[in-house]
Copies of this chain bind each other. A is one copy, B any other.
Amino acid sequence: MQHIDKVSSKFEKLQEHACNIIEKSDGSGTFTKDSWQKDIGKGITRVITNGDKISKGAVNFSRVSGPLSKEMSKSLGIKGEHFTATGLSSIFHAVNPFVPTIHMNVRYFRLDNGTEWFGGGIDLTPIYVDVEQAKNFHLQLKNICDKYDSTFYPYFKKWADDYFYSKHRSETRGVGGIFFDRQKPSKTFDFEKWMSFTANLAEAYPEIYTEMLAKNARKPYTEKNIFWQKIRWAKYAEFNLLFDRGTRFGIESGGNTESILISLPPEVRWEYNYTPEKGSKEEQTQQFLKKNIDWINLPEA
């Protein structure tokens, strides 16, 4: 079995797994299943909207191939004739503003010259930063990483900080997580290990989110909290449309627009020069949107 087929079939199973768990956690919403086929390849888009706890979310699987276009070469910073890729990517935006937006992506990429690599990560974008929640989240990621290589967590944590950064606002998208790209299998950490690591992340992801939903989805909230949710989501949309490589790669390679843009939040608000009140919970969140916060060792408030 070719590597691409192995990864692809694993990712497809993990899509099913994530949807099953999240449907149970939501308790009311169900995922639609939309299989698409285009020149570039095929995919399965599974979308949940207007659930009891989840406002909008998706788990997307795709397997694509084709010649690298000029734009794609530029966007990826590589040159090559032909590629094959498979990926699983997911996002959930919750109804309750005390439940964060979560995002996961694992991907495998292969050029016809035989070069192959893995990429992926999980990151968290709270509407309101909760130090305990961020700490637990980072601990869970560290535990998965440490099972494979103790250098992974610090390396990939920094990478997430640098990647999920809106330089035009000098702020991070959220509290980060882990991110990695173009990790080539080596003799000491081979293809099987990379596949196992990425699969492990994708498997843990719905469990991590289920925990957050269980803890926060019933918290009471006000109109003011919803307003702030729209402000925070507007920044999420800005990041994805301006900077996110996955989004731009998808759009430029002629991918399925609705599947790519499913990552955008349900409703956002752009207010000119909006600044949270001094001493407010919103201002506190704003102050946590910084790189290089050592969440795991941060003292709780």
Bound CA–CA A270/B262 (angstroms)? 8
Residues of B contacting A268 in the complex (Cβ-Cβ under 8 angstroms) = 237, 267-268, 270
Residues of B contacting A230 in the complex (Cβ-Cβ under 8 angstroms) = 267
B251 contacts A168, C-beta separation under 8 Å:
yes
Nearest residue, chain B, Cβ from A261? B270
Bound CA–CA A241/B244 (angstroms)? 11
Nearest residue, chain B, Cβ from A234? B264
Binary interface encoding of chain A residues 222-254 relative to chain B, with 1 for a CB under 8 A from any of its CBs, else 0: 000000001000100110011000001001000
Q: Which of B34, B242, B273 contacts A241 (CB 8 A)?
A: B242
Nearest residue, chain B, Cβ from A268? B268
A98 to chain B, nearest CB (A): 22
A267 contacts B265, C-beta separation under 8 Å:
no
Residues of B contacting A266 in the complex (Cβ-Cβ under 8 angstroms) = 269-271
Q: Which of B49, B260, B272 contacts A49 (CB 8 A)?
A: B272
Residue of A230, A258, A260, A272 ringed by the most chain B CB atoms within 10 A: A272
Nearest residue, chain B, Cβ from A32? B272
A64 to chain B, nearest CB (A): 16
A272 contacts B267, C-beta separation under 8 Å:
no
Q: Which of B56, B271, B272 contacts A272 (CB 8 A)?
A: B56
A70 to chain B, nearest CB (A): 13
- CB contact under 8 A between A272 and B47, given known A238-B261, A241-B242: yes
Nearest residue, chain B, Cβ from A256? B168
Q: Does A169 contact B (CB under 8 A)?
A: yes
Bound CA–CA A74/B202 (angstroms)? 37
Q: Does A257 contact B (CB under 8 A)?
A: yes
Residues of B contacting A272 in the complex (Cβ-Cβ under 8 angstroms) = 47, 49, 56, 58, 258, 262
Residues of A near any B CB (own CB < 8 A):
34, 47, 49, 56, 58, 168-169, 230, 234, 237-238, 241-242, 248, 251, 257-258, 260-262, 264-273
Could you list 24 A-B pairs, sorted by A, with CB under 8 Å?
A34-B273, A47-B272, A47-B273, A49-B271, A56-B272, A58-B272, A168-B251, A168-B260, A230-B267, A234-B264, A237-B237, A237-B241, A237-B268, A238-B241, A241-B242, A242-B248, A242-B251, A258-B272, A258-B273, A262-B272, A265-B270, A266-B270, A267-B267, A268-B270
Assuming A47-B272, A266-B269, A267-B270, what are 20 further A-B pairs, CB within 8 angstroms?
A: A34-B273, A47-B273, A49-B271, A56-B272, A58-B272, A168-B251, A168-B260, A234-B264, A237-B268, A237-B270, A238-B241, A241-B241, A242-B251, A258-B272, A258-B273, A262-B272, A266-B270, A266-B271, A267-B267, A267-B269
